[in-house]
């Protein structure tokens, strides 16, 4: 029959809770655990050490035979795989892993794990160049995560301030190797990423062995760098060193010195560039002004602007000339027509009967009651016994033939 559930009215005593914990822990059985060794104490036959998770702030106590520690020559910071069984001590209420086998994680195994992690992160797209951000040209404040009083810190600060004396830094000193490195670097990154004045973050460390640089290939640190909203520059070790953080960071710098040179521009180079651009701008402006001045001079030199009344006067003269030519042409035409009319009039006058009568001549047609009787060429041709009278009425010649006896008349 199971025990009643604990309540405020019927609480369990400490021994009951301790016994239940012991039962649950015993069910766990033996386990394999990986971690990093810290706080090693192997002075007696039993060794006590702390096994820490390098990615998070968690650890557990380990007890084992001191001979295993001496055989493997373990030191603080060693990576190990431990096999044992969890033990609960009810009297103290503590847990401990009783180890019966310890295996050191060699460099080959560590490198193989890093390579597997590299492939995993690459498959997830954390190395994709398209997700990398360009650092600002001139950051307002530069965050620096590095070891305390380290050569890396000195190199970054010295080179950056030599290039840009007004560069402003916020430095956070952390452990850059050992079991505390990953946790402290992640905390520092989070702090600087939340700082609104911090425009770029540099993670810097000097050179070292593969074991020394292991924290910068940790999965948790790589994901923390990828999650930063602020651009991150990685400056870990020397040129041949390529921890995974270098691939995840927005910019990889070969050394801390390179990071100090790349995070800010060179004030001398920028001053020279500004001077050159100012000169180019001045030349461009002068060239533009000269072209516009020449254009204005060309426009002013055109006749329409230099002598605006000249074309009007020339057109007026042309109009006057054409009008005079038209007047002369009309006058000449009128004169010709007048001469022609005068000639025609003269011919008509010459051929008219009045002119003929004026010269003493006339053409008379004799008309008798029986009809025309031909042209009377002279008076002698008139019939005998007739009398001829000729007169001009309204320019027309009228001839009257009268009989000698004063009988009838014939008009022509």
Q: What pLDDT tens digit does each residue of the chain (412 aa) get? A: 456 778 887 888 888 888 888 888 888 888 888 888 888 887 778 888 888 877 677 888 888 888 888 887 777 777 888 888 888 877 777 888 888 888 877 666 777 778 888 899 999 999 999 999 999 999 999 999 999 888 999 999 999 999 999 999 999 999 888 778 888 999 999 999 999 999 999 999 988 777 778 888 888 899 999 999 999 999 998 878 788 999 999 999 989 999 999 999 999 999 999 999 999 999 999 999 999 999 988 888 887 777 778 888 888 999 999 999 999 999 999 999 999 999 888 888 777 767 666 766 666 666 666 766 666 666 666 666 666 666 555 555 555 666 555 544 444 4
For tokens 């001496």, the residue is 70
CB 376 within 8 A of CB 388: yes
How far apart are the C-alpha atoms of 72 and 118, rounded to whole Å? 29
Residues forming a β-bridge with 295: none
Phi, psi of 39 (to 5 degrees): 50, 60
DSSP class per residue in 154-180: HHHHHHHHHH-TT--EEEEE---SSTT
- pLDDT at residue 408, as a whole number: 47
Catalogue all structural domains in the chain, each as residue range(s) with its CATH number. 14-105 (2.40.50.140), 111-265 (3.40.50.2300), 356-400 (no CATH)
Residue 359: DSSP 8-state: T
CB 74 within 8 A of CB 80: yes
- pLDDT at residue 411, as a whole number: 47
Which of 85, 36, 83, 93 is closest to 59 using CA atoms?
36
CB 82 within 8 A of CB 54: no
- pLDDT at residue 285, as a whole number: 95
User: How far, CA to CA in Å, does 284 sit from each of 232, 279, 287?
Assistant: 40, 8, 5
- pLDDT at residue 212, as a whole number: 77
- pLDDT at residue 410, as a whole number: 46
Q: Which residues of 36-71 are buried (b: 16+ CB within 10 A; e: fewer)?
A: bbbebebeeeebbbbbbbbbeeebeebebeeebbee
DSSP class per residue in 264-301: S--HHHHHHHHHHHHHHHHHHHHHHHHHHHHHHHHHHH
């Amino acid at each position: 029959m199971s025990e009643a559930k604990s309540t405020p009215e019927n609480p369990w005593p400490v021994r009951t809770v301790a016994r239940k914990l012991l039962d649950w822990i015993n069910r766990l059985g033996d386990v394999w655990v990986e971690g990093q060794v810290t706080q090693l104490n192997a002075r007696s036959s039993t060794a006590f050490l702390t096994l820490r998770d390098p990615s998070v702030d968690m650890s557990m106590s380990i007890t084992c035979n001191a001979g295993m520690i001496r055989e493997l020559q373990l030191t603080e910071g060693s990576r190990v795989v431990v096999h044992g069984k969890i033990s609960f001590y009810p009297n103290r209420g503590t847990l401990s892993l009783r180890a019966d086998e310890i295996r050191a994680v060699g460099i080959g195994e560590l490198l193989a794990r890093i390579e597997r992690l590299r492939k995993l992160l690459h498959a997830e797209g954390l190395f994709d160049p398209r997700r990398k951000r360009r650092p600002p040209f001139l950051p307002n404040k530069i965050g620096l995560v590095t070891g305390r009083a380290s050569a890396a810190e000195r190199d970054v600060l010295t080179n950056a301030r030599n290039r840009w004396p007004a560069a402003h830094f916020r430095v956070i000193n952390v452990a850059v190797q050992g079991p505390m490195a990953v946790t402290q670097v992640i905390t520092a990154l989070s702090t600087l990423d939340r700082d609104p004045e911090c425009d770029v973050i540099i993670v810097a460390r000097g050179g070292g062995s593969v074991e020394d640089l292991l924290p910068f290939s940790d999965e948790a640190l790589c994901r923390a760098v990828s999650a930063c909203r602020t651009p991150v520059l990685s400056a870990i070790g020397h040129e041949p060193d390529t921890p995974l953080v270098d691939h995840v960071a927005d910019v990889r710098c070969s050394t801390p010195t390179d990071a100090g040179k790349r995070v800010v521009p060179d004030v001398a180079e920028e001053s020279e560039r500004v001077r050159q651009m100012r000169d180019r701008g001045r030349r461009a402006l002068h060239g533009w002004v000269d072209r516009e001045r020449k254009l204005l001079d060309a426009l002013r030199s055109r006749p329409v602007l230099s002598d605006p009344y000249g074309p009007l006067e020339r057109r007026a003269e042309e109009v006057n000339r054409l009008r005079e030519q038209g007047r002369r042409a009309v006058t000449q035409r009128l004169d010709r027509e007048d001469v022609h009319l005068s000639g025609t009039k003269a011919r008509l006058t010459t051929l008219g009967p009045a002119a003929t009568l004026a010269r003493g001549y006339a053409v008379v047609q004799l008309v008798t009651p029986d009809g025309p009787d031909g042209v009377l060429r002279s008076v002698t041709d008139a019939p005998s016994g007739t009398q001829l009278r000729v007169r001009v009425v309204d320019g027309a010649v009228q001839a009257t033939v009268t009989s000698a006896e004063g009988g009838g008349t014939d008009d022509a």
